[in-house]
Structure 1
Amino acid sequence: MLKKSFAALALGSALFAGQALAADYAIDKEGQHAFINFKISHLGYSWLYGTFKDFDGSFSFDAAKPEASSVKVEIKTASLDSNHAERDKHLRGDKFLNTSKHPTSTFESTSVKSTGEGSADITGNLTLNGVTKPVVIKAKFLGEGNDPWGGYRAGFEGGTTLKLSDFNIQGPGPASQEVELILTVEGIRK
């Protein structure tokens, strides 16, 4: 259910987008151009979608040396929003995200590996519900260029699937033991 941490992760692909020099980017959360979304099965009949509204992060990449690229994201777990207040309260509780005890979730990359055609595997450590585990985010470069306000931006998408029990989180039911994170990241060059 960590969306965010992961959103920044999608940027690994940018390593291959044609930037000649290393560049640092801040994730554009203020302009609402970055999203950490999730989906999980509801009873095996449909999908429940949600998002994390409060997160921050940055990424750096160098097309000439992708292995030197990095991503770092912090998510405020209580910002979970599934468009249903009572369900959100339940998901923030101690059987799931336990947001009172673990108010943040983090992702920090440990390696980036090109997989071809503007894509990359971003491996890193995800800390969720007080548990840290390695995860791989499949990322794809979407584009880069100047924006209308005199800045320079780069965008990525990516995703990963988490086994809830790996993070000591109970699945809400037998068909809901994994959550898919869907990440979209736009960064503004610093």
Structure 2
Amino acid sequence: MKTLITAAAIAATTFATTVQAAPEAYVLDSSHSQIVFQYNHLGYSTGYGMFSGFAGEIQFDQEDPAASSVTVSFPVKSMLTGWQARFDHFMSPDFFAATDDEMVTFTSTAIEVTGENTALITGDLTLNEVTKPVVLDATLNQVGDHPMEGKPWAGFSATATVLRSDFNLGAFAPFISDEVQINLSVEAMKAD
């Protein structure tokens, strides 16, 4: 009987410790995190742009990924287009009419685990002062100690499709596609 009570106490303690485990804070590695977007230009070509060097935090629970969360923000004017005239047009009243301090933000609201390393991350995307829900189809690429930094690291990739018109950025549609495809690749380090 004593053995049974001891075993039950150990099991209860183990269960309580597991239940109380909390997500751990990871900070985005700005030098290895990019968002690439693409759109169809008049049927002749695919235009590309990128955001890089942005900040964010992931509350990562590897044992219970649905309990994780993510927040990211970056200035609209950090957009890279590869051609100054295109950047200037994107920042004009035809599209963003962006101020120097205008931010793009994403805050997760739910995570649905879909596989061993995959999940659908639903969140609020604020772009051009409009907030709409967006779903990221995400993959955990790898998690473990970084070979050069010697600390826990995680890598994620994700895709999504948004409509420019949902964010009052639909100029010249449908000639320039309303749909914009987004590809994300981020690395994050465990916070100190």
What is the CA distance between 1:84 and its match in structure 2? 0.4
Tell me how far apart the structure 2 counterparts of residues 102 and 168 of structure 1 sit (CA, whole Å): 19
Tell me how far apart the structure 1 counterparts of residues 145 and 22 of structure 2 sit (CA, whole Å): 16
SS at structure 2 position matched to 1:94: coil
SS at structure 1 position matched to 2:46: strand
Look up the equivalent residue of 1:121 and give its one-letter code: L
Name the structure 2 match of 1:24. 25
Name the structure 2 match of 1:85. 84
Name the structure 1 match of 2:117. 118
Look up the equivalent residue of 2:127 and give its one-letter code: L
Q: Percent identity?
A: 40
Tell me how far apart the structure 2 counterparts of residues 159 and 34 of structure 1 sit (CA, whole Å): 14
For the aligned residues, what is the CA RMSD?
A: 1.7
CA contact 1:70–1:110 (8 Å) conserved in 2: yes
Tell me how far apart the structure 2 counterparts of residues 52 and 157 of structure 1 sit (CA, whole Å): 14
1:167 and 2:170 matched:
no
1:51 and 2:50 matched:
yes
What is the CA distance between 1:65 and its match in structure 2? 2.5
Q: List structure 1 runs of 4+ shifted beyond 2 angstroms.
A: 63-67, 170-173
SS at structure 2 position matched to 1:81: coil
Tell me how far apart the structure 1 counterparts of residues 134 and 140 of structure 2 sit (CA, whole Å): 19
Tell me how far apart the structure 2 counterparts of residues 149 and 118 of structure 1 sit (CA, whole Å): 24
Cα deviation code 1:98-143 (max 9, x no counterpart): 2118710110000011011311000010000010001100001100
Tell me how far apart the structure 1 counterparts of residues 166 and 92 of structure 2 sit (CA, whole Å): 17
Name the structure 1 match of 2:9. none
Look up the equivalent residue of 1:165 and give its one-letter code: S
SS at structure 2 position matched to 1:72: strand
Structure 1 segment 57-76 matched on structure 2, within 5 A: 57-76=56-75
Tell me how far apart the structure 1 counterparts of residues 190 and 171 of structure 2 sit (CA, whole Å): 38
CA contact 2:33–2:52 (8 Å) conserved in 1: no
Show structure 1 runs of 5+ residues with no match. 1-19
Cα deviation code 1:69-120 (max 9, x no counterpart): 1000002100111100001010011221221187101100000110113110
Look up the equivalent residue of 2:52 and give its one-letter code: K
CA contact 1:61–1:70 (8 Å) conserved in 2: yes
Name the structure 1 match of 2:137. 138
Name the structure 1 match of 2:14. none
Question: What TM-score, normalized to structure 1?
Answer: 0.83
1:129 and 2:124 matched:
no
Q: Which structure has the larger Rg?
A: 2
- The structure showing larger relative contact order (alpha-carbon pairs under 8 Å, at least 6 residues apart) is 1
Tell me how far apart the structure 1 counterparts of residues 49 and 100 of structure 2 sit (CA, whole Å): 21
Question: What TM-score, normalized to structure 2?
Answer: 0.82
CA contact 1:43–1:173 (8 Å) conserved in 2: no
Tell me how far apart the structure 2 counterparts of residues 110 and 172 of structure 1 sit (CA, whole Å): 32
